[in-house]
Structure 1
Amino acid sequence: MTTSVQRVQRMLAMVPYLQSNAGIPVTEVADAFGVSVAQVTKDLSLLMMTGVGEYHGDLIDIDVGALEEDGVVFLRDADFMTRPLAFSAREASALIVALRTLRDTATGDQLPAVDGALAKLEGEVGALAPVDVRLPPVDSRIKDTVLSAHAHGHRLHIVYATESRDRTTSRDVDPHKVFTTRGQLYVSGWCHLAEDTRTFRLDRITEATELDTPVAIRPSEASATVEAVFVPGPETPHAVLELSPEARWLIDEYGAEVIEERPDGSARIRLYGTDLAWLRRLVLRHATTVRVIEPTSLREDVSAQARAALDAYTGIVID
């Protein structure tokens, strides 16, 4: 979700909140919405240009003097937003899917809240076709261990299979967050082996042990906050690829940057990877629908690998 969308949603919720809490300190508003006081002030400035018309009385009014001098918020002329926000059927369905997905990562004390919200939403949307959420299978013992360590603030010892390097490593991790994205379940936290924040797919954890050791590095102390599963940097290996229409799913699967869209459904993209070996394997797996444009070294490497594979079949006779 983009920052602009989050801001609009926050301000839509902020108006009825401020109407019900006249004179509330701006610091409490910031705490309630999980943003800084500076961000709340910016939101209020934008709200003053919002309304049903362009004249006084038609626009939302904020008592600027009370805000600047006393640090409290008084909001007026927003009676057009006194009605509670209502979900459309599409929005409610999206929330139901999100809650059912969340339920797979919820701990015991969180389940009643998730189930209660689901029951209310499903009661309102009941006429819609049921939605079934299916995530890739994860060993239940590993998932329970990860969730327990995260909930109790304990360190995890894991054995992790790294697909891009075809090897396993043993690591101690201070878990910060368990989340689902693109249909996969992840845990992010401080990896004591890498001495940095890392994100791990639960289906690639082959062993997990919750240690008695409390986490030493908490999210606020980590060198970086994980906002995405993979964040490329200036030195991250990447390739420019040509995709046929059949391979367009790779864009969403790997969060590729689209350089050019074509009317026939094909596309040119920039794809980042952990290393060039991973990019080479990806292209070879989809050789009939993906072609390397840049870098030249990767294009030549893929061609050589493909030629070697074809040569291996030369002279073989199949009865």
Structure 2
Amino acid sequence: MTQLSKRLVRLLNMVPYLKARPGITKEQAAAELGVSLSQLQTDLEQLVMCGLPGYGPGELIDVTFYDDRLDVFESAGVDRPLRLTSREATAMLMALRTLVDMPGIVDPRAARSAIAKVEEAAGAAAPAPPASAVADESAADVVRDGVRRHRALAIDYYAASRDSVSRRVVDPIRVVLIGTHSYLEAWCREAEGVRLFRFDRIDEARLLDEPAAPPEPARQADTDTSLFDADPSLPVATVRLAPTAAWMFEYYPMQAVGQLSDGWMEAQLTYASEEWLTRLLLGMGDEVQVVAPESLVAGVRDTALGALAMYEQVRP
């Protein structure tokens, strides 16, 4: 990827470079660009296949490179600074702001810097955020800083399966992207093992004044995604989900069992606390139906009837 990036930069720079030096020889161009003659020839052959949408003869970059002389007759605008249209700038800003709001996907400080530059270039800069808002670091910022500086962290972490928040001291190893979520892979001192902490479930993070010291085997090992597999010692509930509740597969330890004829999905859900799962299922309304075990079915039904009875008592 690094070689491709370097070549892209070289190709983009070649057009204004050659346009400013009409008639330059291949040998001189290769020497000044720091490439071999064969690489220069390959670059030129690719360059003349690039251009503006439509890609007709009048829209492609036109460079003559015969008889050892190079001349640019059509630059396709590559020799001019890029100007975004209002619609293009708006789309880019929306995408950048979406990335800022997705914990762990990108460094938000870099994304905010890009946003400011695009707004300034577009002449429509938004009001600057308060200084306090800029100064406040999110938990994700602190975690990234800990990984980058190899420092231990104290984190408050929400475990969805247990509906609880715990404070842990961890030694960061790396940040990994699994599916659509970013995770901190770290050695958890309490558990004495490697754990994956999802960024959007880290409520608070504090950088400690001590180096991160995960055991060397843990540092060298590949990320173990089997940690996402359900714990066989935990109970499993069978539920049915409406199509509008399919998002739950991304947030809870669930495994699809089969598609039903009405578009609903049957799934198995691992849980540690029946009380927690009852609250979750009741909060989903009619989008989720519990099928088994019978104790959970009865618990959800009795809790719902109890809530309804209380509502009837206070209703005018």
With normalisation by structure 2, the TM-score equals 0.52
**2:127 maps to what in 1?**
none
Q: 1:151 aligns with which of 133, 136, 148?
A: 148
* Matches of 2:138 and 2:149, distance apart in 1: 16
* Matches of 2:189 and 2:266, distance apart in 1: 38
The residue correspondences of 1:77-226 to structure 2 (distance < 5 A) are: 104-106=105-107, 140-181=137-178, 183-218=180-215, 220-221=217-218, 225-226=223-224
Letter in 1 for 2:157: Y
**1:270 maps to what in 2?**
268
**1:80 maps to what in 2?**
none
Instruction: Judge conservation of contact 1:197–1:225 (CA < 8 Å) in 2.
Output: no
Letter in 2 for 1:308: G
Instruction: Judge conservation of contact 1:239–1:279 (CA < 8 Å) in 2.
Output: no
Instruction: Judge conservation of contact 1:245–1:264 (CA < 8 Å) in 2.
Output: no
Structure 1 portions without partners, runs of 5+ = 1-96, 116-138
1:290 aligns with 2:288: yes
**2:314 maps to what in 1?**
316
* Matches of 2:249 and 2:203, distance apart in 1: 28
Q: How far 1:186 moved relative to its partner?
A: 3.0
* Matches of 1:315 and 1:154, distance apart in 2: 56
Q: How far 1:164 moved relative to its partner?
A: 4.8
Letter in 2 for 1:299: V
Q: Does the C-alpha gap of structure 1 residues 166 and 104 become closer, same or farther in structure 2, counting only changes over 3 Å?
A: closer
Instruction: Judge conservation of contact 1:239–1:295 (CA < 8 Å) in 2.
Output: yes
Per-residue displacement from partner, 1:88-122 (whole Å, max 9, x unpaired)? xxxxxxxxx9xx679843499xx79xx9xxxxxxx
Structure 2 portions without partners, runs of 5+ = 1-94, 115-135
Letter in 1 for 2:288: V
**2:66 maps to what in 1?**
none
Q: Does the C-alpha gap of structure 1 residues 285 and 144 become closer, same or farther in structure 2, counting only changes over 3 Å?
A: same
Instruction: Judge conservation of contact 1:107–1:148 (CA < 8 Å) in 2.
Output: no
* Matches of 1:253 and 1:160, distance apart in 2: 15
Task: Name the larger-Rg structure.
Answer: 2
Q: Does the C-alpha gap of structure 1 residues 177 and 241 become closer, same or farther in structure 2, counting only changes over 3 Å?
A: same
SS of 1:284 mapped into structure 2: helix
Identity, % of aligned pairs?
31
**1:234 maps to what in 2?**
232
Per-residue displacement from partner, 1:41-68 (whole Å, max 9, x unpaired)? xxxxxxxxxxxxxxxxxxxxxxxxxxxx
Q: In the comparison of the two structures, how many residue pairs are matched?
A: 203
* Matches of 2:251 and 2:199, distance apart in 1: 17
Q: Does the C-alpha gap of structure 1 residues 240 and 159 become closer, same or farther in structure 2, counting only changes over 3 Å?
A: same
Q: How far 1:173 moved relative to its partner?
A: 0.6
Instruction: Judge conservation of contact 2:160–2:252 (CA < 8 Å) in 1.
Output: no
Q: Does the C-alpha gap of structure 1 residues 249 and 209 become closer, same or farther in structure 2, counting only changes over 3 Å?
A: closer
With normalisation by structure 1, the TM-score equals 0.51
